[in-house]
Structures are given as C-alpha cells and as structure tokens.
Structure 1
Amino acid sequence: MLAVAEIHYIRHEVNQKGESYASVARKMGIDPRTVSKYANQDEFPKKEKQKRKARVMDPVKPLLDKWIQEDLKKKKKYHRTAKRMFQLLEKHHGFKGSYRSIRGYVSQRKKELKKVADEAALPLESFAGTAQVDFGTAPFKYHSEVIELPYLVMSFPFSNTFYFQVFPSENTECLLEGLQRMFHHMGGVPKVIRFDNLSPAVKKIRAKGERDLTDVFERFVLHYGFTYEFCNPGKGNEKGHVEAMVKYIRNNFLLPENTIVDLDHFNETLWAIAEKDRNRPHYEKQVLQSDLFQEDRKEWLLLPEKRFESIRYQEIRADKYGFITIDKKQYSTSPRFAGQKVRVRINYQSIIILNEENEVVATHTRLYGMKRKSIIWQPYLELLSKRPRAIKYSSVYEQFPPAWTEYLNNCTEEEQKDVLGLLGKLLKNNDFSLLNKALNLASVHGHPSAEEIQHCFYSLLHQEDRYLAITPSVTVPPMPDITRGLSHYDTFFQDERAER
C-alpha cells in the first residue's frame, strides 16, 4: 500500500499532467502496474481538460476537442486512444486524413490543456467549474428555543451562485456530509475547491504552506477526485466570494429566525431556494446567472460510482459506569463494558458502539447542543432485574429520573426485581414521560406495587380511567410508620462498624 502522498503524486502525474504509467513508474521506482492501479482505482477518480491545434483537420477539431474533454473527466483506463478516435472519425464522419495527423493533434491539444490547468490556480473567480466553501451561522427556532446553528455554503465564483445546508455542528462529519449532499444533488464535482483552514479538514499548518490533513478528509478528496486549495493563515480575502455569499444567504434567506421542526426536511427545501436565486443577471457580466451556472456544470468532474462513507472509528475506554465520552457528550454502552475499551463508529447522525466481534451493542442519536448524556436503558435494566441488589452501586441508579430513584430506594429486593423487569418491558425509546405519570398516579395512595404501576401505565396509554379502580373504597385505619426497602440493613451495619 502506497502512502497517501505517493497516491496524490501518481494521480497528479497521470491524471492531470498526462504522464505515462511507465514514465511515472521509472520516477518512483515502482511497477507500472502499480501506477495504473492507483491512477484508476475507484476511490480516486480525477481528470482535467485538454486541447490542441490542427491544420488540415479543421472540420473534425471541435469533435476531437469534445471527446478529449469528455475523456478527461474519467479514469485514464476509460479514455479513447488517438487510434480509436481516428477509427471513429473514419467510420462515422467520413474522415479522409491520416492517423498520424490525429495522433499529433490529440497529443498537442492535451499538452496545451495541461499548461492552461497549471496556470489556472488563481484567481478562481475567472474559471468555470471551481468552488469555494465555508461555514456561516444564523439563529433558528429549533426545539422550541432560539439557537445558533452553522450552515455550510458552497459558492461558485464564475456564475456567482451557491448551495447551502444547515447542520447542528461544524465537525468533520457534518462538513463531509454537506459536501457530499451537494455533489450528488448537483450531479458533479467542482474540479477545484478552495477552503479556509477548517479544523475538520486541516490538523496542522506547517512551514511553506504545507498542511497535515485529517485522515477522513484526505480519503474524501481522493474519493471524489477534486483539487483542494487552502487560504493562507489570516488571508480570508482569498475566499472572498464565499464569505460574501455567507452574508448574502443569511440576510436574504435566514433572517428573521426560521423555525425548524425536522432538520433533514428543512434542508430539502434549500435546494429550490438556491436554484430560484440564479434567475437574475450577473452583477458584472449581465448574463443570467443560471446560464453561467450551466458553464460551471460543464467543467465539473464526474461523480464516482459509490458514495463516500463518511464514518470514523475510534477506540474509547468506558468509565466505571460503562459510559464513553465523545466531543464532551456521554453515551452509554452496557454494564459489562465498564472500564473496558469499546470500538465506536461515528458519523454526523449517530454513535454506534461495537463489541470485539464488531457486533452492535448500542446505537445512539448523536448529541448536539445542551444535552450532555444519552442512555440506552435496556442493557442495564436486563442486568439489574436479575441482580437488583447491584442497583444501589451502579451508575443507572443515579441516572433514573428522580421519582424512580426515590421509589426504587424504598423498595424491597423482590419489589425492585419486579419493577425493573416491568421497566424493561414498558420503556420504549428511552422515554420515561408516560412511566413517570404512571408512577405518580399509582403513588397517590402510598407505595405502589409493580402491578399497580403497570395498571396505571396502560390506562394512561389507552386514555382510559381504569386506574380509578385502584382507589380504596373503605377507610383504612392508621398504621404505624415503617421503614421500607433495605436502608435499615445499611443502618445496622453502620452501627456495627461504629462499635468496632
């Protein structure tokens, strides 16, 4: 397996500069078949454009140019050779010239296009098919409160157009999810994309502009085949177009606060907003931006056959309670993983915890915002229903809603076993709201049993009033105070230790 830098070099030399496999192999001291493999690997498609002049063949030049440009959006193994072009011209277009003329034209045209590509690094505003990317922030009404959320903008300087999507964070997974959504909605990939030094993409900036990229961003670039550029530190003006577009989007589409009920559905509505905005003249060129956008589209690279799986894996040690921490948020695993390492599969939507056999232990919706902890209760309840004495010494005892913590503390061992089994059966989607109501209702006349809680739960669930049947119909004489649960045993042992 070659290093990423070597793969980048092969891709650049073969797919952009047009060097032969043998030539690159000699320079690198490796087998030409290895060069061919990495130049054409599915995850790393990349091609530029190419041109040339001719003399006697004026009628077929435009067609040759078209074929060359079509091919250079594909992997090299899919390119038509000059010989194949000559055969097609003879068969379908009545070409009477020589193969040598075709071969010379194609070769020279590719060299000319290579030179144009090498000189086209700056400014991006001058070239179709290029893009700039950055995050902005705006206020939204989300989950009944006003909060700031980031939105990812991809702008196209040549046509002065854009796309944008709103996310709960500016992390790596959200950045790559946003870029990928845009590529697949657009049906192509900008051949050059300029970024600020976003932490999801850049781990470290070194001397002379060198950068260490995050592993997942580097693989993403190789998969989609675009050329990336980063602004110099403190030089945000080098991506001035996208910065202006961030403000334009906020002022024209995101103020005052939009109400978001479902973020994915809201993002689906943003494609049409961006596309409708193109139906106006370009501020300088006095041509409809929608027409210029079509010129952008013609220059994009083809999409790869497969989507990129924007996932990272991480090994994390669970704490003594069986919780792991990711980005300052806590997620439960299972009691048996307390103090042990687990493998975690992370994407922008979910946190999936795996055991040593890569089997799923728990799946959490990824937390953003103020909420700090996500608990999947079933693994804990299953264990505790079998070993109720352990509940007082487990983290779950502290994580229950306060009403349940107090109730379980006042239960005998047998009652705890029954109630924990009941919770394991009734608790759905880790939502205690209906169970809390059932416990409060069943507790009106004293400490309830598991059967009474279950009776109230189903009455509330089906919106019935059967729970009234548990109301005592006779006056019960006052009873002496008793101490429920196992706390009196704790007191006994404390007294015994004090005597020692």
Structure 2
Amino acid sequence: MITVDEKEQIRRAHYLEGKSIRQIQRETGHHRETIRKALEDGEVPRYTRQEPRPCPVLDPVKPLIQQWLDEDEARPPKQRHTAKRIHERLTTEYHFTGAASTVRRYVGQLRRQRRTQVFIPLDYPPGHIAQVDFGQAQVVIAGQRLTAYLFCLRLGYSRQPFVTALPTQAQEAFFAGHVRAFDFLGGVPRVLVYDNLKAAVQRILEGHDREEQATFVAFRSHYLFESRFCTPHQAHEKGLVEGLVGYARRNWLTPPPECSSWEALNDYLLEKCRAEGSRRLHGMACTIGEALALEQPHLLPLPPRSYPCCVVQPVQANGFGLVTFQTNRYSVPADHVHEPLWLHAFVDRIEISNGQQVLAVHPRCYGRERDILNPLHYLRLLEQRPGAWEQAKPIREWQQRWPAVYDRYLAALRERLPMAQATREFVRILRLHEDYAEGLIAQALEQALAAHCYSADGVKQLLLRLVEPGPLPPLDPKTLAHLAIGPVIWPDVAQFDRLLSDLAGGGR
C-alpha cells in the first residue's frame, strides 16, 4: 500500500506534468491499477482486510462459545458465563490450548455486537401516554432504616415526573401509587405503559398479549385508561421512566432522608416533583411545568370518587378477639367476635367491618407474627373481669404511653375503694375514650384530682364542661362530693337461708 506522499507525487506527475500512467509506472515501479486508484482518490489511503484473519486455535471453538452465550440469554444475569469461565470450560472439557486473553477478546467482541441496538426517536402527543415503574431506596422512618418502594410515573409529552414512596409493592400499593399520581397531575393519561409486574399481569401470552389480573382490569375500568406491556427483558421500551428511578435515588434520596412518617417522606417527594416543573430538558422549547399546563387539558378527567385501593378478604375472629392477615393479628371489639367479618387491607391501615359498619381501624403492620391491639376493644370484658387487669396485654401496652395522670388517678381510686371496684370504676373512665380525645380526658382527670372527685360519673361531668361551648359558673368542689363512691356493702345472703327455714317450718 502506497503512502499519502507517494500518492501526491503520482497525482502531480499526471495532472500537472502531463505524464501518462505508463510513464509514471516506469518511474515509480507501482502497478497501473495502484496508479489509477491514486488518480481517482487523493485521500489518505486506508488498509481494508479482504478476509478475516485466520485463528487456527480459536476458530474450531467459536460456534461453541456462541452457543453458550445464546443459552445464557435465558438464564438469570448472575448465573451467566464470564470470559474466564468460558476459558476454563474450553480448557478442561475440550482441551483448548489458546490463551485466556484470546477468549476474552472474542467474547467481548460478541457481546458488543449483541448490545449494539439502534432506536427510533419518539414523539408523544399531549395527554396520550405515561410510563410506570417501581424502584427501591433506603430511607429512615421514625429512626428506623427501611426499604421504600418507589412508584414512578412520567408523562410522555411534558416529561413531568411523579414519585411516591410506599412500604410495599403489593397490588394495593400499586393502585395507591396510581391514585396519588392522578391526583397530582389533575387527570389520567390515556395510555399507561408497564413492564410485566405481577400486580397487573397474571400470565404472559404470545407477543404483547397478556392475561391480566381481574382486580387490575377493574381498576383500569374505573379510570378508563388503556394499558400496554413491554416485551420481556426489553426495559428500553419504557426508557422515560427507567431513568427516573435512578434520578430520584441519586438526587432526592442521597443521603437517605430521615422523616418522622411515610406521610412526611411523601410530602418531601411531592415538593421535589413540583420543583421539576422549573427545569427545561434538552430539546424542549419550554419548561416541564409549562408543558404540563399544555398537557393537562388533554388528560382524561378524574372520576367522582377514588378507587378503593385495598385487598378484601373474609376473616373470623378467634377466642382472643383477633383476626389474622399475613401472619399478623388485629383486634376487633369483643361484642362482634362471633360475627362473620371482612378485612380491608390498605397500604397504611387495616379496616375490619361486618358488612354494615367499620368496627376497627388499625395501622397496618409490615412485620411478622405480631399482635396489634386496641385496648378499647377489651374494656367491656375488663369491666366484667377486673381480676385480669394486671396481666391484660392491651392494657400493659397502653400503660407505657398513656399520660401520667392516669396512673395517679388509678392509685387514688385504689386508696379509697376495694381493688376490684376501683378497677371497674377506672375502666368506666377509660371507656370515655370511645367519645372523647385523650388530651381532654387527661385534663378532666387533673381537675378531678384537684376536686377530690373519684368516680366515672364525676369525670364525665368535668369532660362535658370542657367540651360544651359558652361560659359556665365556676366549679365548686363541694358539688362533686356526693359523686364520690364509697365501698359497696354487699347484702347478707344468710338472711335468705333464715327465710327459707321459716317457710319450711310454717312460719310467716
């Protein structure tokens, strides 16, 4: 191959000095075809191999390496062949004598060819499409490090992102993320694109056909959007939202935020989503917020009521007044233990009903094999069985967090009344929580101690004075003195024996 300087000499000799190709051949010794190519093209000469270089050691095993890499496509990513493992298998199983670097070079060449893909630039009409994905991040809630599942949605036209954190990625959380996103956007995108997550897809069929979960179809029907699902292992089909998961982790959740509750964390994320409205992305003529304002009129309207994002299942309380959901047990009022009940599991709470009214509401527990007890559910039983007071688990848990005045008032009752009677009277006071807030009851108990009033009826009267509007005459402690309860004198049942003896003897 001639150099660029030799090519220049040939071209000058022919075009400037008028020499023929034959004369240039005699003077330079180059072949006539080489001279003709130099006259046609004055660029720097490039060497092009006509045939691939033979690899006598590697060529016999190339089909085998390609077969192994093809089979790896159906395996988990962490159990696929590395170049090192391929070289080890070739050496031990097929007596390969080539170097490991030779195998690494060829495997890298094959993998680069497999990764090379060409994509088509896409443009979305306003309000038409949004993409959805789930991600994970570490957060600190009430001092405890937890895994948060990030529901991420991004609109196609305006690129407006929405991110909310959830304690689970179960179906009820999947639906709740949608509802929060729709409320934030002020409408519903006409098409939502998903991967094949279990909350929506029951079974993958041929092509883009899916057997969808019945509850997901009901949710979709409520909001009237259309769903589309990506080809398995082709995450680029929803590339808009794939980048949002990492963006939120790097920019909003690094270092892990410390929040008092899930609500506080989501308020923080909501502020970050709103702040994105001031950004102008590459290739956009306006900011995200301005584009969202143009897109919102094209979204589907929100329905009059939100979809109930919960799992519903029938339950039956056991002998301790507890129903079980996902290994955890939740209390119900003792009066309804023998009724058929329904449990509604929301993301943040558990509701238990009898089909006519909600009987109990508990914060949802994501631990395992724990009892979530509402002490109010057991007060009627304790009023009947005061002897169980000291060992009652709901009361022992409640005592750790109730106001200190409760303990002082109970001690004052026990100084003046027999143990069982004092316990019953205090249980009657605790039952006031069914209608009044704890702060008001604590305030009424402070006043009761100051007025030397030791009865549930007196405490209730003090409560009524606290909640009723309008000025009232000052309280005279003497007016409450008659409400104090003294020891109960039980009747002498021996009198009935004497009466029966008299009747048997004919007396009157």
TM-score normalised to the size of structure 2?
0.52
- Give, in whole Å, the separation in 2 of the partners of 1:402 and 1:281: 53
How far does residue 354 in structure 1 lie from its aligned partner after superposition?
1.5
Q: Unmatched 5+ residue regions in structure 1?
A: 1-121, 439-449, 456-500
Q: Match for residue 373 of structure 2?
A: 375
Matched, 1:366 2:364: yes
- Give, in whole Å, the separation in 1 of the partners of 2:205 and 2:196: 12
Q: Per-residue displacement from partner, 1:459-484 (whole Å, max 9, x unpaired)?
A: xxxxxxxxxxxxxxxxxxxxxxxxxx
Which gives a bigger RCO, structure 1 or 2 (Cα 8 Å, sep 6+)? Answer: 1
Q: Per-residue displacement from partner, 1:363-401 (whole Å, max 9, x unpaired)?
A: 222234579332111221212211346779xxx835543
Relative to structure 1, the CA distance from residue 124 to residue 177 in structure 2 (aligned partners, 3 Å threshold; closer, same or farther) is farther
Instruction: Mark the structure with the bigger radius of gyration.
Output: 2
How far does residue 209 in structure 1 lie from its aligned partner after superposition?
4.9
Give the counterpart of 2:392 among 378, 397, 403: 397
How far does residue 228 in structure 1 lie from its aligned partner after superposition?
0.6
How far does residue 262 in structure 1 lie from its aligned partner after superposition?
4.3
Q: Match for residue 175 of structure 1?
A: 174
Matched, 1:127 2:124: yes
How far does residue 232 in structure 1 lie from its aligned partner after superposition?
3.3
- Give, in whole Å, the separation in 2 of the partners of 1:259 and 1:196: 31
Q: Match for residue 230 of structure 2?
A: 231
Q: Secondary structure at the match of 1:344?
A: strand
Q: Match for residue 200 of structure 2?
A: 201
- Give, in whole Å, the separation in 1 of the partners of 2:420 and 2:133: 58
Q: Match for residue 153 of structure 2?
A: 154
- Aligned identity (percent) is 24
CA RMSD of aligned residues (A): 4.4
Q: Per-residue displacement from partner, 1:78-123 (whole Å, max 9, x unpaired)?
A: xxxxxxxxxxxxxxxxxxxxxxxxxxxxxxxxxxxxxxxxxxxx98
- Give, in whole Å, the separation in 2 of the partners of 1:289 and 1:379: 51
Q: Is the 8 A contact 1:155 1:161 kept in 2?
A: yes
Q: Is the 8 A contact 2:375 2:395 kept in 1?
A: no
Q: Secondary structure at the match of 1:324?
A: strand
Relative to structure 1, the CA distance from residue 211 to residue 232 in structure 2 (aligned partners, 3 Å threshold; closer, same or farther) is same
Q: Per-residue displacement from partner, 1:169-223 (whole Å, max 9, x unpaired)?
A: 2233332222122222222211111122333333444555544434443222112
How far does residue 332 in structure 1 lie from its aligned partner after superposition?
0.5
Matched, 1:217 2:216: yes
The aligned amino acid for 1:383 is L
Number of residue pairs aligned between Structure 1 and Structure 2: 316
Give the counterpart of 1:385 among 361, 383, 386: 383
How far does residue 142 in structure 1 lie from its aligned partner after superposition?
1.2
TM-score normalised to the size of structure 1?
0.52
Relative to structure 1, the CA distance from residue 238 to residue 353 in structure 2 (aligned partners, 3 Å threshold; closer, same or farther) is same
Q: Per-residue displacement from partner, 1:109-147 (whole Å, max 9, x unpaired)?
A: xxxxxxxxxxxxx98943233111112222222112222
Q: Secondary structure at the match of 1:229?
A: strand
How far does residue 340 in structure 1 lie from its aligned partner after superposition?
5.4
Q: Secondary structure at the match of 1:147?
A: strand
- Give, in whole Å, the separation in 2 of the partners of 1:157 and 1:323: 47
Q: Is the 8 A contact 1:188 1:297 kept in 2?
A: yes
Q: Match for residue 19 of structure 2?
A: none
Q: Match for residue 138 of structure 1?
A: 137
The aligned amino acid for 1:378 is L
The aligned amino acid for 1:381 is L
Relative to structure 1, the CA distance from residue 323 to residue 147 in structure 2 (aligned partners, 3 Å threshold; closer, same or farther) is same
